[in-house]
Amino acid sequence: MDAWTEVPLEEFGQQHEFGEDGRTTGRMVFRHGDGEAQRVLSRLAELVSNAYEALLSEEEGELYEREGKVPVLRAGHRSYETIDTITLGDLPVVLDTLQVLPSPADVALFRGAT
C-alpha cells in the first residue's frame, strides 16, 4: 500500500487501455488492479471531487471547470493544484482544506449580512 501513497487517486478508476500503436483499444482497464482496495480509492477520488464541487466559491468553481484546479492549504499557505494530481498521501491536507472552506449556507448567510 505504501507504493500507492503517491499515485493520483484518479488513476484508481477505470482508464482507457492503449495499444502499442498508442491508440485506444476500446477497452477500459484498472491500471493498479481490480481489487476491493482499488475500488475504495476510486470512490475516494469521486468523494473528494464532489466535496470540492459543493464547497468552491463561484470564482474557484470557474477555475475548477476551466483548469481542474482546486484550493489546497499546505503549511498555512493556500495554493491551487490540479485535482487529478491529488494522491492518497495528500488526503490529510485535502481534508484540512475542505474543513475550512465555507459551506454554501455560510456564504449565503455572509452575503445576507452585508
Over the stretch 85-114, which tens digit does the pLDDT of each residue have? Answer: 999 999 999 999 999 988 765 555 455 555
**Model's pTM, two decimal places?**
0.77
Q: What angle do CA 51, 29, 52 make, to 5 degrees?
A: 10
| Phi (first) and psi of residue 19, to 5 degrees | -85, 180
Instruction: List the grid coordinates of 21.
Output: 500503436
Domain parsing of the chain, residue ranges: 2-113
Q: Give me the residues of the chain with pLDDT under 50, please.
A: 109
Residue 87 has what pLDDT?
93
CA of 45: how far to CAs of 4, 20, 21, 48, 58, in Å?
Answer: 13, 29, 30, 5, 22
